[in-house]
C-alpha cells in the first residue's frame, strides 16, 4: 500500500485528505495520531508542527492539508484539479477562503462539541454562528452561479468547504436559509467517501 494518511478522522483537515483518497480511488491506510492518540517521535520527525494530517506516499512525506489535496489530485486524479489555470483558480480560492471560514466557525464548534454543557460560552456560540452564517451567504451567492465551487464539475476546490459544510449543518446553531448551499451539500452527500470520511459524529 503506497499511501499512508496520518491523523485522527474527527479532524476537519484529516477528513479532507481521507475523502479525496476515496474520490480518487487511491489505495491507502489511515493511522490515528494527534488529539487523544498523541504524537510519537517518529511522527514529529516527519511533521515537527504537532499538527495533522501528514502523508507518506512511496517515501514522499508531505504536510498541510490543502497542499496534500493538490499533490494527490495532481498525481492520481488530475481531473479534480484542471490544467486550465483560470478554472483551477476558481477552486483554489475557496480552498484558501476555507481558513477564514474555519476561524468564524471555531467558537461554535469548540463550545458545542469539545466542551461540557456547563462550560459552554453560549454568547460566543451565537457570535460564531452569525459570522459563519454571513460567510456561508457568500458561498451561497457563488453556488447560485455554478453548481460546484470548482466550477461546472466537482473538484478539489469543493473538498475543504465541503468538510466544514457538514459541521455547519450538524451544529445546534441558528442558520440562515441558503438554498444553494443546501443543494450543494445534498450533492456532496452523494459523493464517494463523503459519508465514511466526513459525515461521522463531530465529537
List, as own/partner pairs, every contact residues 68-72 make where C-beta atoms lie below 8 angstroms and the sequence separation is at least 24, other chains included. Answer: 68/16, 68/17, 69/16, 69/17, 69/20, 69/95, 69/156, 69/159, 69/160, 70/156, 72/3, 72/17, 72/20, 72/21, 72/24, 72/26
Grid coordinates in use for 37? 492518540
**97/70 same-domain check:** no
Give the pLDDT band of residue 2 (cuts 50, 70, 90).
Answer: confident
**72/97 same-domain check:** no
Structural domains counted in the chain: 2
For residues 4 and 69, give the distance between their C-alpha atoms in angstroms, rounded to a whole number: 14
Give the pLDDT band of residue 117 (cuts 50, 70, 90).
Answer: very high
Question: Per the domain annotation, does 30 fall within a domain?
Answer: yes
Domain holding 142, by residue range, is: 85-194
Among residues 80, 108, 138, the one where a domain terminates is 80
Grid coordinates in use for 120? 459552554
**9/96 same-domain check:** no
**47/115 same-domain check:** no
Q: What is the mean pLDDT of residues 77-81?
A: 94
Q: Decide if 179 contacts 140 (C-beta within 8 A).
A: yes
Question: Per the domain annotation, does 199 fall within a domain?
Answer: no
Question: What pLDDT score does 180 carry?
Answer: 98
**147/100 same-domain check:** yes
Average pLDDT taken over every residue of the chain? 96
The CATH number of whichever domain residue 75 belongs to comes to 3.40.30.10
**142/190 same-domain check:** yes
pLDDT in tens, 161-196: 999 999 999 999 999 999 999 999 999 999 999 999
**73/89 same-domain check:** no
Question: Per the domain annotation, does 202 fall within a domain?
Answer: no
Question: Per the domain annotation, does 90 fall within a domain?
Answer: yes
Question: Per the domain annotation, does 27 fall within a domain?
Answer: yes
Among residues 80, 106, 122, the one where a domain terminates is 80
Question: Per the domain annotation, does 115 fall within a domain?
Answer: yes
Amino acid at each position: 500500500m503506497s499511501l499512508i494518511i496520518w491523523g485522527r478522522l474527527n479532524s476537519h483537515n484529516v477528513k479532507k485528505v481521507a475523502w479525496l483518497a476515496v474520490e480518487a480511488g487511491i489505495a491507502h491506510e489511515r493511522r490515528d495520531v494527534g488529539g487523544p492518540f498523541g504524537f510519537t517521535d517518529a511522527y514529529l520527525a516527519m511533521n515537527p508542527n504537532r499538527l495533522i494530517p501528514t502523508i507518506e506516499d512511496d517515501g514522499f512525506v508531505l504536510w498541510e492539508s490543502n497542499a496534500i489535496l493538490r499533490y494527490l489530485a495532481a498525481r492520481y486524479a488530475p481531473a479534480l484539479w484542471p490544467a486550465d489555470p483560470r478554472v483551477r483558480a476558481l477552486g483554489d480560492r475557496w480552498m484558501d477562503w476555507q481558513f477564514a471560514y474555519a476561524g468564524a466557525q471555531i467558537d461554535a464548534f469548540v463550545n458545542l462539541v469539545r466542551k461540557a454543557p456547563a462550560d459552554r460560552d453560549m454568547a460566543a456560540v451565537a457570535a460564531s454562528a452569525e459570522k459563519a452564517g454571513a460567510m456561508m451567504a457568500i458561498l451561497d451567492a457563488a453556488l447560485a452561479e455554478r453548481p460546484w465551487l470548482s466550477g461546472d464539475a466537482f473538484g478539489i476546490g469543493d473538498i475543504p468547504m465541503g468538510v466544514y459544510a457538514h459541521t455547519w449543518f450538524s451544529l445546534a446553531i441558528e442558520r440562515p436559509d441558503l438554498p444553494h448551499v443546501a443543494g450543494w451539500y445534498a450533492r456532496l452527500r452523494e459523493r464517494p467517501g463523503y459519508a465514511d470520511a466526513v459525515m461521522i459524529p463531530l465529537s
